[in-house]
Amino acid sequence: MFPLKDAEMGAFTFFASALPHDVCGSNGLPLTPNSIKILGRFQILKTIIHPRLCQYVDISRGKHERLVVVAEHCERSLEDLLRERKPMRYCVI
């Protein structure tokens, strides 16, 4: 993980939609909860590392399909910098 420089850590929480209680898949087994699916997909986001991007740090699953995501956060956006008309260097990937 790159140093934060002028970024800070932030956390946000949300609820994954719950599945109906009596639903099974075509194989007869219970369906995987949406929060578990999100946890699996989040692992890919954690691998994205670039010095110009804020990074996702971690995700935690709580009770009742609640998810808490920890990520870097920059106070100033690209839009703010463009308003100030400061010269910027950028790279195209």
pLDDT tens across 19-68, in order? Answer: 777 778 888 888 888 888 999 999 999 999 887 788 899 999 988 889 99
Q: Would you state the pLDDT for residue 47?
A: 92
DSSP letters of 17-78? PPPPTT-B-TTSSBPPPHHHHHHHHHHHHHT---TTS--EEEEEE-GGGEEEEEEEE-SS-H
pLDDT band at 86 (very low <50, low <70, confident <90, very high): low
**Cβ atoms of residues 11 and 69 within 8 Å:** yes
The length of the chain, given as a count of residues: 93
**Cβ atoms of residues 28 and 79 within 8 Å:** no
The tokens 């808490």 sit on which residue?
Answer: 68
CATH 1.10.10 fits 8-84, yes or no: no
Q: Would you state the pLDDT for residue 70?
A: 92
Name the residue ranges covered by the structural domains of the chain.
8-84
pLDDT tens across 11-20, in order? Answer: 989 998 887 7
2 pLDDT above the threshold of 60: no
